[in-house]
Homo-oligomer: A and B are copies of this chain.
Amino acid sequence: MNVLGLDIKPINVRGADMNKREVILETAVELFAEKGYSHTSMQEIAEGVGISKGSLYSFFTSKEDLIISIYEHYQQLVFERVFIIGLDGDLPPREKLEKQFEVQFEGILHYKAYMKMHLRGETGTNNKKISAMEHRMRGRLFSWLQNSLLELYGEEITAYKWDLMFMTQSIYRTYMMLLVTGQAEAKPAAIGKHIVRQLEVMANDFLNGNSQPILNDEMMQDFIVDMDREGAFVSFEKREQAWKTLYNKLNKLDLPQSSSLKEIANRISEETKKSRPEKVVLKGLFALLKENDEIANESKALEDEILSV
């Protein structure tokens, strides 16, 4: 029995495998970030991990499979937290958006190598699966920005949304790049506020009629299709659906312990953010959640999603 009153069970048998899989992902991401995708050989990655090439191929069926797994792994980690903040109905739109940018920049500090790799963009291009993945990522980002814009300014922003989305995204990307390359050091919260402020200033200039938009729906047809196809922000993964269900329930019930339950949920989100989340901690936190019968089912569902990775 530990302090939380839980029996700590040994991590399941496949634990070792999962770890090695992650070690490979992390090693590969660092090498890709440093030398680029095509200039990093599978041999080098194997050596970096300390295993043989043959073993490497027992975890990932090809180099392409490896890079796609990297994207899937990290993208989930980075974006999930933004999504969760989006679920919080108590936060006013502007603070919410600031917080979401803040969280992204925190993520960047955690996953520097991944971001560096991503910014390089030089993944074995003209590859179908990879560019599909990149499409999907961009779709999510834009879907999120669009949501935020509408929440902030309502329908009247529609005519300017494309210009604002592209400009905001490019500013975001620039500061991300500066952080990742270590050129700039700054508090995530400060950058988050800064970006939202720029967006605000530009949006107001549009709304006051002092600026004319360049982009319009017709030009952006491709993007619209992408955003729709991905179902994008509303619900794009079972795991995030599970988060959403839990939050909805929490908000609806409005229990007296509600705020402490949210705190636990946030701590869970924090833990999953780590590159090596501790299973015991997660299990403990979920046990706490499940003590409340009203949300036990939802908690269980989320736990299954998270621990099954």
Q: Give me the interface of A with B, judged by CB distance under 8 Å.
A: 35-36, 38-39, 120-122, 124-126, 163, 166-167, 169-171, 173-175, 178, 183-186, 190-191, 194, 197-198, 201-202, 205, 210-212, 214-215, 219-220, 222-223
Quick check: A39 and B205 within 8 Å, CB to CB? no
Copies in the complex: 2
Minimum distance in angstroms from A137 CB to a CB of chain B: 16
What residues of chain B lie closer than 8 Å to A170, measured between beta carbons?
170-171, 173-174
What residues of chain B lie closer than 8 Å to A211, measured between beta carbons?
194, 197-198, 201
What residues of chain B lie closer than 8 Å to A126, measured between beta carbons?
35-36, 39
Contact of A169 among B174, B190, B197, B201 (CB under 8 A): B174
Q: List 6 A-B contacts (CB under 8 A).
A: A166-B178, A178-B219, A184-B215, A191-B214, A198-B202, A201-B205
A173 to B173, CA, bound (A): 11
What residues of chain B lie closer than 8 Å to A191, measured between beta carbons?
214
Q: Which residue of B lies closest to A213 (CB)?
A: B194
Minimum distance in angstroms from A152 CB to a CB of chain B: 17
Contact of A186 among B36, B121, B214 (CB under 8 A): B214
A210 to B197, CA, bound (A): 9
A301 to B197, CA, bound (A): 50
A173 to B202, CA, bound (A): 17
Q: Apart from A183-B223, A184-B219, what 20 extra A-B contacts exist at CB < 8 Å?
A: A36-B122, A39-B125, A120-B125, A122-B125, A167-B174, A170-B170, A170-B171, A170-B174, A175-B214, A178-B215, A178-B219, A184-B215, A185-B219, A186-B214, A190-B212, A194-B214, A197-B210, A198-B211, A201-B211, A202-B202
Most buried by B among A120, A190, A191, A211: A211
Q: Which residue of B lies closest to A221 (CB)?
A: B183
Quick check: B214 and A184 within 8 Å, CB to CB? yes
Quick check: A35 and B219 within 8 Å, CB to CB? no
Q: Which residue of B lies closest to A123 (CB)?
A: B122
What residues of chain B lie closer than 8 Å to A174, measured between beta carbons?
166-167, 169-170
Minimum distance in angstroms from A224 CB to a CB of chain B: 12
Q: Which 5 A-B pairs have the closest CB atoms?
A: A122-B122, A170-B174, A170-B170, A36-B125, A184-B219
A204 to B212, CA, bound (A): 18
A190 to B213, CA, bound (A): 9
What residues of chain B lie closer than 8 Å to A175, measured between beta carbons?
166, 214
